[in-house]
Structure 1
Amino acid sequence: MTRFCTNALVLIAGLMLVSARAHAETVLVEAESFPKHGGWSLDTQFINTVGSPYLLAHGLGQPVADAEATVQIRTPGKYHVYVRTKDWVARWQAPGQPGKFQVLINGKPLAEAFGTVGAEWHWQPGGEIDLPAGPATLALHDLTGFDGRCDAIVLTTESTVPPNEHSLLTQWRRSQLNLPAEPVVKSDYDLVVVGGGYSGMGAALAAARMGCKVALIQDRPVLGGNGSSEVRVWSMGLIRRGKYPRIGEIVEEFCDHATLSPGTAQEFEDEKKEKLVRDEKNIDLFLNTHAYKVEMDGNRIAAIDTFDTRTSAQTKFKGKLFCDATGHGTIGALANADFDMAEKGRMGMSNMWTWDEGQQPVSFPETPWALDLNMKDFPYPVKHHGEWFWESGFDKDPLGDAEGIRDWNLRAVFGAFNAMKNRDGAPKHPTAFLTWVAYIGGPRESRQLLGDVILTQDDIVGKREFPDGCVPSTWSIDLHYPKKQFAEKFPDNPFISIAEHDRRIDRDYGYPVPYRCFYSKNISNLFMAGRCISVTHEALGTVRVMKTCGMMGEVVGKAASLCTLYGCEPRDIYERYWPEMDKLLLLPGKAHRATVQAPIEIPSDALPLAGPHGPPSGIDPSKLEGVIIDNRIAKLSGKWTAGTGLPGYINYDYIYAGENSGSTATFEWQSADTAKMEIRLAYQPHENRGKTVPVSITVGDKTTERTIDMQAKPALENNFVSLGEYAVKKGDKVVVTVGTKGAGGNAHADAVQIITLK
């Protein structure tokens, strides 16, 4: 009897609790789901740690336009308001609250300002408000323009604070949003590619053209990754060369041709990339889609669970093969693939920026919360650009604290611009204003998924031959470290890097990276492409640039088509089907077939076959007027260094040598005609070039001496400067010599052009 009564009392108490909660109402509004984002930006980089996408008020010091939404209140009453946010500089105990914003309900701001407390993401209380039944408007009202952030808003008649622990919060969100218990299933894919950067695009396009049904999943609204308008790293690495000069033709179709890094948003042609992918009938493109879970079947991936970063709608993707092109090796890690990550010396994340000057004075708010910088604490942003070396997070956690790395970069950029505007740089910059600061970081290094071959620096510089070597890597082994000059003030987290290059790389032919670096050693149906492939930290320095990563994707896509055709795994392509793979790698990039069983067709607009040294990576000399004498056939004395970092060069590269090094570059040509001719010299201007570079021009037996200011932009098209007009006789030898004595800086030599005048 006692036991029965006790159980009955518990039951009655439980029913009373349910009854009480039946009259309660909780409204969860995810910030990313606001129909109008206004000037707020959707940030999806840190879902794995934050638990959700969020809206960011990235206004460069100017408050952004309100984000707006309307919700339905079913039950009138007094509602507690909670806003999930953080004070993003509190972890450094920095003064000020740059992320301050208000929440407006039905047009009226709550008394509490948000983004003002707490170093970690949490539910900041916003007080109570009386709400009638019916529609209620919500708005996020930015107060600073300095990266305030909002994950979600909760209106609840309960006094209980929503859960904040990651796993509990995830389940609570699903319940409050009334998401279906089971996701929508999309299946029958031959290849599911996660990551829409250069490597993911290359894999999806190559596989689709070879007859695979492909899903391409990207968690951002644009394709291109670091090579998109969001990050603006120009595409580097040479393509279409080596043993398989057709590899890279697909990359050629979508790569940018930006003239600066960072360039303008338009130069990265986001629309072109998306159109190219959507035009492929075999590709289903899913933008704004985040992959967060992997379903396994033994040592195979069976499916990947995703959600829409705007609506939270769940989708499960099933496929035969999967490709991790996330950069971080995220899919591999979720599948328990073997991976490694360098313990020391890891490269960081870049956040580039640009500024300009107007006609009128422009103010910039003081930034006491930013890094405490004066002009000597950072390299002056020449050309109005904060370039690739604005990088931090060395040896910090690139996965668990990526948001902290990005935020430190923002503090560095805003601190630098504060120095330019409000401190010792102020007299020179009264009209300066920020035009763009990347809030999507450009990470360089995290996980390396392990394949059957782990490529090393010794393999590369020793030119070790692998029978499956296929992707030509032409970039030097380029590793970044903190630059000591700018590391003294913040030794625990420097924000300016220096690149150390091992240049023992064949930049023409390229080092052929083996196919066995592109699939997992222990997850049997997992490919990888991009910077998460199977290489050591040192070897990553050469393979990580975007065009090279795109070529990896092309190889993976072709291999996936053979796996689909033969019903085999990625490892089998090397062990059993490499002759067939060899044939596919020799096909033009535009070759296509409807299915993997269909005959291959070669369209009429396929690119011409390049040679083993590839097409010109710069301006094609065959398309220029007159005679072009390239630096590669010049006679060189002393020490000259080849470079490709400055765009607009002729043919494959340019060369430069230090002042008073005794170096000379001599360009020679013999005339077959008698005519008046103009002789020109091409060079790329740079602040380290000399202003008095000596150049001699000999025509027949007469020599003319000139000095060239190579810091100044050349006056003629394609970076040529005129060396004068000369009467040239048939049989005369024309000799142009670029020297270094008294140059005042580096001497530069790219090409000589000789034009016959009418």
Structure 2
Amino acid sequence: MKRREFFSKGTKVALAAGSIPFITASCASTNDVVYNKKEDKWHHLGTGESGIVNRKKTTEFDVAVIGGGAAGICAAVSAARNGAKVVLVQDRPVLGGNASSEIHVHLNGVNNIKGKAERETGLIEEILLLNRFENEQESWSVWDHVLYEFVVREPNLTLMMNTQAMEAVMEGNKIKSALCWQGTTETMYTINADVFIDCSGDGLLAATSGAEYRTGREGKKEFDETFAPDEPDGWQMGATLIMESKDMGRPMKYSPPSFAIKYTHEGAHKKRHFKGFQDGIWWIEVGSDNDIIADFEQNRHKLMGYMHGVWDYIKNSGNFPEAETLALDWVGSFPGRRESRRFIGDYIVSERDMTEHKHFEDAVAYGGWSLDEHNPGGIENLSEPPSYFHYHFKEVYQFPFRSLYSKNVSNLMFAGRNVSQTHIALSSSRIMATCALQGQAVGTAASICNKRNVSPREVGQKHINELQEQLLRDDAFIPKRPANDPLDLARKSSLIFGSTTSSGAAKNLLNGMSRDIDGEINHWQSDGLSANVQLEWETPIDLSKVELKCDTNIKRNIMMRKDSRNDELYGNGVPKEMLKTLSLQGRVNGKWVDLGNISENKTRLIKFSFESIKVTAIKIDMTKTYGAENVKLFEVRCYA
């Protein structure tokens, strides 16, 4: 299919590409299922009854999130925690997307900035910390269940697994419903919602809504991009299959399957190295210059052949004697994608926005992975490097809200690799932790849409400060944007002090910056334990919530790695700096009263909630960390 023809086909091509043959091209208007229920001859032996199976259901939600990868999980949880009734629709049997047990990709983020991790906080930090507590053995399948728990424990959130969002039902320029097929129950769901968020990567629902999108690479001229090709073309970065091996302690033979594709490494670029091949080779990849979604099954089969061909080369070429005792222990069957549709918002983020660190008044997320454009031909273009690391960032860049909602579908947002950006910008922002930050932003925005009965565009135009302040309160970080919440009573305190201080100052806990960054200290750190921080008010205040942000050493990455790396940049356990045991007291009529205590804290953002009470002071007593001698805080907030 020619590139121009692909775009002109529109939603019909999109629907065919995701082929599950249970709805017709006209189902958006008729909601008819091809499977004719009148011909279902079900005879129930237990009851002796015969009847027609009714497997059509209609559900109502405030927010529908499509796609259960890092972006979708954070979008759904953030919307639910901020008061919306949410459904998360996931087409796979597990959550996590590329980071799931099906694919085994590291959940990277801005850790590519050399020597300056500046790890993402907010919901993705909470997820990674939860994994360190519940999955000490670093099992990929247990990681799936950690993600599952993170989602299903939310009271405002309904999770639908093994469910494909097939088509959007439109009402003018607004999505009214999503038609979803749940294969395991043979049920067609009509999901009605006020706001839809497509975090599925390929964006089938968004495409069938008529949302504008593009595929391929922009030419240099359109956005003045240094690293773009001279002329636009249809190439998209490919998908990868990972394999992992196990040392059996004795010589292990390997015979490739019939579908293996012979690999010789002849003429391969010098950067196509085999370092760490025991844990997989990311450049076993196949891209496309046409309809990469329609090509998926063909490419999956080829990738399985290339994967076994490369392992055959490692085992049997004689060039890797260290592989003699290795055997394949796990092989991927579902490729991890990097690129397909990119939907058009009110702004398209481009290369120069990132490299020139453009400041956006509507910034809601950030990134910092290098401009890492994979060879579009993948393993079928061996003479080229597997990836062109065009540009390495020295500090993080901002991502604007205007690129996270649709230009022409009024109640549609997106997060992940399908957001409004160029191909070159995608080469950096596609990294999963960056996608997770976008997800938290749009989920929070959706709750504002629901609360104020406004569109995503109106949130960006009229309520962007509210969105940014809520994200900052929920432990997200926005570069160059300190928090200034007018509802935070801690900022109105007349005095704040710590029992001891080894670095920083207690007043830093009120400056709106919840991390040390750009050479500035924004923390208070005790001199030993136990320690406390106290806030005083000249007149009594009504208080029902106290929130603080502790240290989890965001200079060190804690994502799960196949090599279980544990050094200055990566940690494979609970951060020792993290606050473990603390309690809260309030001064009422001159006497201290207990307001709450936590003995096994597992989050960076720590919350106390209690019945409203009038106090003239609060005292946070901190007695234990997970190993550090001192305790460090970055923020204290108080709310009525």
AA aligned opposite 2:152: R
CA change 1:465–1:356 in 2 (3 A) is same
Aligned: 1:528 with 2:414: yes
1:373 aligns with 263
2:341 to 423, 426, 447: 447
% identity of equivalent residues: 28
1:559 to 445, 448, 473: 445
> How many Å apart are 1:550 and its aligned residue?
0.4
Deviations 1:548-580 (A, max 9, x none): 100101111111111111101000011111222
CA change 1:502–1:362 in 2 (3 A) is closer
> How many Å apart are 1:384 and its aligned residue?
0.9
CA distance in 2, matches of 1:394, 1:622: 55
Deviations 1:342-384 (A, max 9, x none): 1344210011111223244444334353212236577436351
2:150 to 266, 276, 280: 276
The count of residues paired between Structure 1 and Structure 2 equals 448
CA change 1:437–1:651 in 2 (3 A) is closer
CA distance in 1, matches of 2:303, 2:424: 24
> How many Å apart are 1:504 and its aligned residue?
5.2
1:460 to 354, 366, 371: 354
> How many Å apart are 1:295 and its aligned residue?
0.7
Aligned: 1:650 with 2:540: no
Secondary structure of the structure 1 residue equivalent to 2:419: coil
CA distance in 1, matches of 2:202, 2:527: 41
CA distance in 1, matches of 2:337, 2:397: 24
2:402 aligns with 516
Superposed counterparts of 1:221-232, under 5 Å: 221-232=93-104
2:331 to 402, 423, 437: 437
For the 8 Å contact 1:216–1:284, the answer to whether it is kept is yes
Superposed counterparts of 1:490-501, under 5 Å: 490-491=380-381, 498-501=386-389
2:536 aligns with none
AA aligned opposite 2:514: A
Give the TM-score, by structure 1 length.
0.53
1:611 aligns with 515
For the 8 Å contact 1:389–1:498, the answer to whether it is kept is yes
Deviations 1:3-23 (A, max 9, x none): xxxxxxxxxxxxxxxxxxxxx
Deviations 1:287-327 (A, max 9, x none): 11111121111110011111212232111111000000000
CA distance in 2, matches of 1:615, 1:548: 23
1:574 aligns with 460
AA aligned opposite 1:386: G
2:180 to 306, 319, 327: 306
**5+ residue gaps, structure 2:** 1-13, 42-51, 217-232, 477-486, 491-508, 529-552, 556-562, 572-640
1:326 to 194, 200, 220: 200
CA change 1:305–1:622 in 2 (3 A) is farther
2:166 aligns with 292
Aligned: 1:211 with 2:211: no
Secondary structure of the structure 1 residue equivalent to 2:34: helix
Secondary structure of the structure 2 residue equivalent to 1:548: helix
> How many Å apart are 1:452 and its aligned residue?
0.2
Secondary structure of the structure 1 residue equivalent to 2:189: strand
1:336 to 210, 214, 219: 210
For the 8 Å contact 1:185–1:316, the answer to whether it is kept is yes
For the 8 Å contact 2:15–2:208, the answer to whether it is kept is no
For the 8 Å contact 2:65–2:198, the answer to whether it is kept is yes
CA distance in 2, matches of 1:476, 1:623: 38
For the 8 Å contact 1:348–1:395, the answer to whether it is kept is no
For the 8 Å contact 2:64–2:196, the answer to whether it is kept is yes
CA change 1:439–1:563 in 2 (3 A) is same
2:575 aligns with none
For the 8 Å contact 2:100–2:140, the answer to whether it is kept is no
CA distance in 2, matches of 1:267, 1:248: 24
CA distance in 1, matches of 2:519, 2:128: 15
AA aligned opposite 1:408: K
AA aligned opposite 2:302: W
CA distance in 2, matches of 1:467, 1:431: 56
CA distance in 2, matches of 1:247, 1:557: 17
AA aligned opposite 1:272: V
1:503 aligns with 391
> How many Å apart are 1:419 and its aligned residue?
3.1
1:74 aligns with none
1:403 aligns with 297
CA change 1:423–1:498 in 2 (3 A) is closer
CA distance in 1, matches of 2:187, 2:293: 25
> How many Å apart are 1:514 and its aligned residue?
0.3
Secondary structure of the structure 2 residue equivalent to 1:171: coil
Secondary structure of the structure 2 residue equivalent to 1:443: coil
CA distance in 2, matches of 1:622, 1:399: 54
CA distance in 2, matches of 1:355, 1:209: 41
Aligned: 1:347 with 2:219: no
CA RMSD, aligned part only?
A: 4.2
1:252 aligns with 125
**5+ residue gaps, structure 1:** 1-45, 54-162, 591-598, 625-629, 633-644, 654-758
> How many Å apart are 1:216 and its aligned residue?
0.4
Give the TM-score, by structure 2 length.
0.62
CA distance in 2, matches of 1:622, 1:385: 41
CA distance in 2, matches of 1:166, 1:422: 50
CA distance in 2, matches of 1:166, 1:523: 20
For the 8 Å contact 1:392–1:495, the answer to whether it is kept is no
CA distance in 2, matches of 1:407, 1:335: 30
CA change 1:51–1:180 in 2 (3 A) is farther
For the 8 Å contact 2:55–2:187, the answer to whether it is kept is no
2:364 aligns with 470
Larger Rg belongs to:
1
CA distance in 2, matches of 1:548, 1:366: 38
CA change 1:437–1:337 in 2 (3 A) is same
CA distance in 2, matches of 1:232, 1:276: 19
1:385 aligns with 279
CA change 1:380–1:314 in 2 (3 A) is same
1:201 aligns with 73
CA distance in 2, matches of 1:511, 1:426: 41
AA aligned opposite 1:218: Q
Secondary structure of the structure 2 residue equivalent to 1:255: helix
> How many Å apart are 1:274 and its aligned residue?
0.7
AA aligned opposite 2:84: C
Secondary structure of the structure 1 residue equivalent to 2:77: helix
CA change 1:430–1:498 in 2 (3 A) is closer
Secondary structure of the structure 1 residue equivalent to 2:374: strand
CA change 1:402–1:497 in 2 (3 A) is farther
Secondary structure of the structure 2 residue equivalent to 1:296: strand
> How many Å apart are 1:458 and its aligned residue?
1.6
AA aligned opposite 1:322: F
> How many Å apart are 1:506 and its aligned residue?
4.0
Superposed counterparts of 1:715-730, under 5 Å: none
Superposed counterparts of 1:416-435, under 5 Å: 416-422=310-316, 424=318, 429-435=323-329
Secondary structure of the structure 1 residue equivalent to 2:110: coil
Aligned: 1:184 with 2:72: no
CA change 1:347–1:426 in 2 (3 A) is closer
> How many Å apart are 1:177 and its aligned residue?
5.7
1:234 aligns with 106
CA change 1:49–1:512 in 2 (3 A) is closer
